[in-house]
């Protein structure tokens, strides 16, 4: 069976989709400490921005997501590599050169805790999953 054609699935290029959605918003550079980036993460920045085209695309793609988790996940799935991981670890986790919203650790307030996991299927027979499987793209806009 085929899904009806939709422009939503027409482009396979994450950067094109992101530009269409966020292109006119621009990047808030006040969230980036340029001195920190140069002084503390220069090696990682060079490895990503100068030496690795996929890392550079991944960083640009992630920046255009404006905090949208599904968008960021798509960027990492398409462009993620060790250089991107290293740059983000240095600039966000280790040195806070890039400011991001991070929730404080600790217990949730009573009544605002997340719901528990959904119950498992009772009597599920794993053998029913045997057979031919196919990996498809284009059915989930969050991850394809």
Region 44-54: mean pLDDT is: 91
Separation of alpha carbons 18 and 57, rounded Å? 12
Of the chain, the end-to-end C-alpha distance in Å amounts to 19
pLDDT score at 13:
45
- 56-75 pLDDT, tens digit per residue, is 898 888 878 877 778 888 88
Region 42-54: mean pLDDT is: 91
Region 78-95: mean pLDDT is: 91
User: Do residues 22 and 65 touch, judged by C-beta distance below 8 A?
Assistant: yes
Separation of alpha carbons 77 and 74, rounded Å? 5
pLDDT score at 15:
47
pTM attached to this predicted model: 0.52
User: Do residues 38 and 97 touch, judged by C-beta distance below 8 A?
Assistant: no
Q: Which among 14, 12, 117 has a CA at the least distance from the CA of 71?
A: 14
Distances (CA, A) of 33 to 92, 99, 104, 134: 11, 8, 22, 45
State the chain's mean pLDDT as an integer. 76
């Amino acid at each position: 069976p085929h899904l009806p054609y939709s422009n939503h699935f027409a482009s396979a290029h994450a950067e094109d989709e992101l530009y269409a959605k966020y292109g006119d918003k621009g990047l808030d550079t006040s969230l980036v400490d340029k001195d920190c980036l140069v002084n503390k993460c220069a090696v990682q920045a060079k490895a990503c921005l100068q030496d690795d085209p996929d890392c550079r695309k991944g960083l640009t793609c992630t920046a255009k997501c404006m905090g949208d988790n599904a968008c960021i996940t798509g960027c990492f799935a398409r462009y993620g590599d060790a250089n991107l991981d290293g740059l983000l670890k240095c600039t966000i986790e280790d040195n806070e050169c890039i400011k991001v919203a991070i929730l404080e650790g600790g217990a949730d307030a009573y009544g605002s805790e997340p719901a528990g996991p959904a119950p498992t299927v009772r009597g599920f027979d794993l053998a029913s999953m045997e057979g031919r499987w196919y990996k498809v793209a284009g059915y989930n806009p969050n991850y394809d």
